[in-house]
Amino acid sequence: MRAGVVASVAALVVVGLLACGGGESATPTATVEATADPTSEATPGSTGTNEAGERVAQDGDTVFVHYRGTLDDGEEFDSSEGREPLSFIVGSGGVIDGFDNAVRGMAVGESVTVRIPPEEAYGEWDEELIVDVPIADAPAGLAVGDEVLFGGQVAKVYEVTDEVVRVDVNHRLAGEALTFEIELVEIAS
């Protein structure tokens, strides 16, 4: 499998390895280990309302949420503070499953805090996603820690030798549990 990954990724390098700046913002894109459950929950086959008769988010709804994402050490990796709320269609795969699951069943104005394990967020860190790119195929001047665009996604330079640039194409949050504080602002559809 590693040879296939290396061949596929190496082909992308020739086309798309470009030096780029930092500051990537992680948009939540995976299942929930909740630290606090939403109090509103639609039941299967329901009309999308909670016990109080309030409409709750369900698959197919366009929702708008404010959120704050932190790692287990408390480091904030992303937040919608100072920005427009994040919008997505529940159940469409536009956000990680755990984030989707946390919003499903929430009513407007409700808040929840969820902890999403790595396997339900950006996956476990995978050593097979460390790829060697021949130095001749890489942009000049790359250094360890630089972020590069690799096949349309941000990757990190892991090592530079006389022969290769070793690139880590794991998502920067791979292997991390993510905690999100989420507030449902609006259900648009």
Q: Which long-range contacts (CB under 8 A, 24 or more apart) does 81-85 make?
A: 85/185, 85/186
98 and 183 part of one domain: yes
Residue 45 is part of which domain span? 33-122+174-187
pLDDT band for 51, please (50, 70, 90 cuts).
Answer: confident
- Mean pLDDT, range 38-58, rounded to an integer: 68
d(CA 38, CA 121): 19
Residue 98 lies in a domain: yes
59 and 113 part of one domain: yes
112 and 139 part of one domain: no
110 and 51 part of one domain: yes
More confident residue, 64 or 30: 64
* Mean pLDDT taken over the chain: 80
More confident residue, 82 or 39: 82
Residue 134 lies in a domain: yes
182 and 108 part of one domain: yes
Whether residue 167 has pLDDT greater than 60: yes
Residue 18 lies in a domain: yes
Confidence (pLDDT) at 170: 93
118 and 131 part of one domain: no
Confidence (pLDDT) at 26: 39
pLDDT band for 153, please (50, 70, 90 cuts).
Answer: confident
182 and 106 part of one domain: yes
CA-angle at 66, arms to 61 and 71, nearest 5° = 115
pTM (2 decimals)? 0.69
CA-angle at 137, arms to 135 and 143, nearest 5° = 50
pLDDT above 90 coverage of the chain, percent = 63
92 and 151 part of one domain: no
**Number of structural domains found in the chain:** 2
Whether residue 37 has pLDDT greater than 80: no
Whether residue 113 has pLDDT greater than 60: yes
117 and 49 part of one domain: yes
104 and 180 part of one domain: yes
